[in-house]
Structures are given as C-alpha cells and as structure tokens.
Amino acid sequence: MGNLKSIAVNGRSYEVCGKLGSGGFSEVYLVEDRRSKLKMALKVMVCQEDEQIQRALMEVQLHRRIDHPNVLRLLGSEIRLKAHNPRNEVEYSTTRSKEVLLLFPALTRGSLQDILNHSSLHKEPALSEIDCLQLFQGIVSGVREIHRLGLAHRDIKPANILLSDEFTPIVMDLGSVAPLNMMIQTHQDSMEMIEEAAQFSSAAYRAPELYDDCFRGQLSAA
C-alpha cells in the first residue's frame, strides 16, 4: 500500500496511525475516524484473482451473519476497484484489481499469541488456571456459533484469538472458513483436502487427517 496516510471507507475519512500486521493478500492498519476520533482496525485485501475476490466477499458476508461476543464484529466494509490516485492520499496500483476494506474494533491488547510470546520472553507464567478456563469457554462459545452456521473455522490458533480490555477472547480471521461437513471419497478428494488445508490452516494446529492422503470418510468439526 506504500506510504498510506489516510483512507476513506464509505465516504468517511480515517487517518492511518500505523500497521498492525499482514498476511496472504491482506494488510491490517490501526486507523482513527477523523470525526469521532474512535480508533479501529482496518483490514485491506487486494484481490487480483476471481478466487481471492470470492473468498473476500464470503468473509464479509459471514461477518454480517454473525453477532456474537466471542467473534470479531464487523463495523463497516467497502468493495471497490483500485485506481491510481494522483493526490497521493493512498498509493494505488494501475491494475483493475478489487480492494476489499473491512473495519473492526481496535483491540489493542493484542492476541493470545502475544501473551504467550511475552511470557516466554520474560520467563514468567502467562495465564492462571482460571484465566485458561475462562479463555477456553469463550473460544468454544465463538467457535460453536460458527459451527451453528454450518461452517468450520479451520485455523483456530492463539494468533487468531484477540483479547478485549476485559480479557474476553474474540475469534478473528474468518477468511479460512469452509463447510462444516465434507465427504472424502476418492484419492483426488483427499489431495484437494490436503492442498486446501495447507493454504488455509496453520501446520502446527492442523488435524492429523488433513495430512493423510489415504483418509476416506466425512470430515467434521467433531
């Protein structure tokens, strides 16, 4: 995105305060609404292929369907063509790819992975037993809501669990979701399953059957 200083989403202007992270074809920024001064997280996805566009649209639609305290809430979104901006407010490419913008609450406490990293670095306990139980309960509640819609997240890991100021766990990154139940009947099915798993789930947290090209049967959240 270059030297991004400000950006408009649905006609509302936001000042870019800094970059929070990146992954795949997306980047996440901390932004501030210039009118309300409210800070938010802005996810910017640049989609150049039809498959990327469809997955980004699916992520937006899924966020709109979910209203749960343990799943990241979508505050606003916009889908538009990228175009050159001579005023240099945002550096755009000249390709006619699509840009998908998603606004979320800014949870500056970070992720569960941040807590674990800090604990490891300073060689101190990360969480009490009570903390672990409360976090687990909240994470399961959020995942159960996703399952209720007939979907599996596929990439539940500490880095995808944000923490609110009240230490409430919030499941994020719905770009990896897939149908909850999938039937694997042939070798081709299993190879496609393995390829998808490699793309949309982290190796260290992947179910063993997602490595097995001999697996046959129904994949489910159970």
Q: How far apart are CA 21 and CA 162, in angstroms?
A: 13
At position 165, the amino acid (one-letter code) is: D
Binding-site members for ATP are: 43
Which residue in the list 33, 50, 67, 155 is annotated as catalytic? Answer: 155
Catalytic residue list contains 155: yes
Residues making up the annotated binding site are 43
Catalytic amino acids?
A: 155
